[in-house]
Structure 1
Amino acid sequence: MLGRTVLFDLGLRKDWWNSAPVVRNILQEGQSHLSVRKDIREILQDGCIPITTVDTIVWSHWHTVHIGDPSLFDTNDKLIVGPGFKEHILPPYPPNKDSMVLQSDFEGRELEELNFTENSLKIGRFNAIDYFGDGSFYFLDAPGHSIGHIAALARVKSAPDSFILMAGDGCLHGGQLRPSQCLPLPQPSLHRLCFSC
């Protein structure tokens, strides 16, 4: 949809030591020389994308290298998460000392949990939501990697239909993409996206 800026995943926050204590402890133990040169806000500014154009932030899932620091953005910017997030990940830290997400990530901000059961749209095998209702941006229910894991398709061209897939850890190893007896290449007629309602 024209005029809307959806930011999919925020990466690791630059000041990772200000993450929830559980996350900070994990990062300190495993990465003694961890350094993040730029946060997502600085990267957008370097790319001449005004921060004020962002109105929606999406977390593909709640792992620390995807949630970044939403407090860098206006509290009017909605935060979208996948199914089960509110039930299994909240409450945040500090009310829940074991939480991996911070209360400051949500303060003053609308938290929208996607519900894929409200419609029957499918893209391939994935339950989907046509987020703007115009075919420009789809959320995909992509369970398996973590609770509430989602992916998205953004239309980049209409003729022919072309999309970019944002999967946030949807593929962790190149071997997952190679054909095998368990994961053969699809039939030629299935190479393009299959939309059905």
Structure 2
Amino acid sequence: MAVKLGDKAPEFVVNTTKGPLALSDFRGKWIVLFSHPADFTPVCTTEFMGFAERYDEFKKLNAVLIGLSVDSLQSHIEWLKDIKEKFGVDIPFPVIADINKEVASQYNLIDEKAGNTVRGVFIIDPNGIVRWMIYYPAETGRNINEILRSLRALQLNWDKKLATPVNWNPGDRGIVPQPSTLEDAYKRINSGEKVWYLKYQEV
């Protein structure tokens, strides 16, 4: 059964371009697991270079990047070498060689018609819970700014129990959880709030 938001992220032990790893190796960190349709393809190449350029930002947020496709380990290695040779960009994160489609199947990342992986992203929290997911069509490159924004929003909720309003960006106000009782709702109104169910808080 495919993973859903709020589920425990399925464990895996895999071969990658950085050697064997297990998902549980990163417990206590945020994980950004992303799949790409195929090596040596144009959109995926731009994305890998984009993730590499923003790698330090993810690292500062205690987040690890893990790439994935159903291509072989040899294909991954040759592709990453080619990116370095042609564009001068080192890919610093591991890329899973999921040739048996085991991880991709667990995370609902298989394009059944094409037989390869779709363009998906999962954010997994330090307790191993899937907190965010998004899928892009094969012809549309990801927005890494949005992935970083969403990661920061999740971390705000994790650290301060605040939600984030529409178009939130780091430094903007967060939203305090709604009152859970009628009495608390009236307390909020009596404290001068415009409505009982929406209260902002500076962060």
TM-score by length of 1: 0.32
> Which structure has the larger Rg?
2
TM-score by length of 2: 0.32
Higher RCO (CA < 8 A, seq sep 6+): 2
